[in-house]
Structure 1
Amino acid sequence: MKKILFISMLLSFSIISACSDKEEKPNVANKPQEEQESNVANKPQEEHQSHENQESSKTNKGNTEASLTQADVLKNIKNQLKTDLSITLPKGLPIIEGTFLSAITKAEANQVEILFFESKKYLPINDEKLKNSQSATVIARLVVKQYQNAKEANEQISFVNFSQNGGQEVDLGYKIKGYQDAGAGSLWTGWNEGRWAIATHTRTDNPEAGMKLAKQAVQFLETHMLPIPKQNGFARLDVYESGNSIVWQNEKLVYTLDSIKEPLKALEIATAFYH
Structure 2
Amino acid sequence: MKKTILKVTVAALTLLLAGCGSGTKQKDVAKNSSTSVKTEQTSSHKAKKHASSSTSSKKTSSSVKDSSQTGSNGSTGSNNNGNQGGGHSEAPTNNEPRLVTINSALNRTLGHVLLPQADGLGQGSANLNARTTGDSANYTVYYSVGNRPLPVNDPAVQNEIPYATVSKKTYGSVAAAKASINYRSGAGEEGLPKVDLGHNISGTIDSGAGNRYLHWNEGQWSLVVHAAAVNGEEPTAKAKQVVELLEKYYLPAPKTVASGEFEVSGGNKLTWQDQTTVYSVTGPSLETIIIMAASMK
Unaligned runs of 5+ in 1: 1-41, 43-47
Residue 72 of structure 1: which of 95, 101, 104 is its match?
A: 101
The one of 254, 257, 279 aligned to 1:229: 254
Q: Distance in 2 between matches of 1:91 and 1:168?
A: 39
Structure 2 unaligned blocks of 5 or more: 1-74, 76-82
Greater Rg over alpha carbons, structure: 2
Cα 1:155–1:253 shift into 2, 3 Å: same
- Following superposition, which runs of at least 4 residues in structure 1 exceed 6 angstroms of deviation? none
Q: Deviations over 1:200-253 (max 9, x none)?
A: 1112256774101101111111121000111110111111013x2111101110
Post-superposition CA distance 1:133-162 (Å, at most 9, x none)? 3xxx41211220111121111111111012
Judge conservation of contact 1:188–1:200 (CA < 8 Å) in 2.
yes
Partner of 1:122: 149
Q: What's the C-alpha RMSD, in Å, of the aligned pairs?
A: 2.7
Q: Which amino acid aligns with 2:110?
A: L
TM alignment of 1:198-209, pairs within 5 A: 198-204=223-229, 209=234
CA contact (8 A) 2:119 2:288 kept: no
Name the counterpart of 2:172: 148
TM-score by length of 2: 0.64
SS at match of 1:124: coil
Question: 1:170 Cα deviation (Å)?
Answer: 1.3
Tell me whether 1:251 sits opposite 2:285 in the alignment.
Answer: no
Decide whether aligned partners of structure 1 residues 109 and 118 sit closer, same or farther in structure 2, where only a CA change above 3 A counts.
Answer: closer
Residue 158 of structure 1 is matched in structure 2 by: 182
Residue 269 of structure 1, CA deviation: 2.1
Distance 2:121 2:244 in 1: 22
Percent identity, aligned pairs only, is 25
Pick closer, same or farther for the CA change 1:176–1:109 going to 2, 3 Å: closer
Name the CA distance, whole Å, in 2 between partners of 1:183 and 1:215.
21
Count of aligned residue pairs for this structure pair: 214
Moved more, 186-195 or 94-103: 94-103
CA pair 270-68 structure 1, distance change in 2 beyond 3 A = closer
TM-score normalised to the size of structure 1? 0.69
User: Cα offset for 1:88?
Assistant: 1.4
- 1:81 maps to 2:110: yes
> For residue 69 of structure 2, what is the aligned residue in structure 1?
none
Match of 2:289 among 230, 252, 266: 266
Paired residues of 1:71 and 1:92 also in contact (CA < 8 A): no
AA aligned to 1:70 is L
Going from structure 1 to structure 2, the CA distance change for 1:173 and 1:207 (only over 3 Å counts) comes to: farther
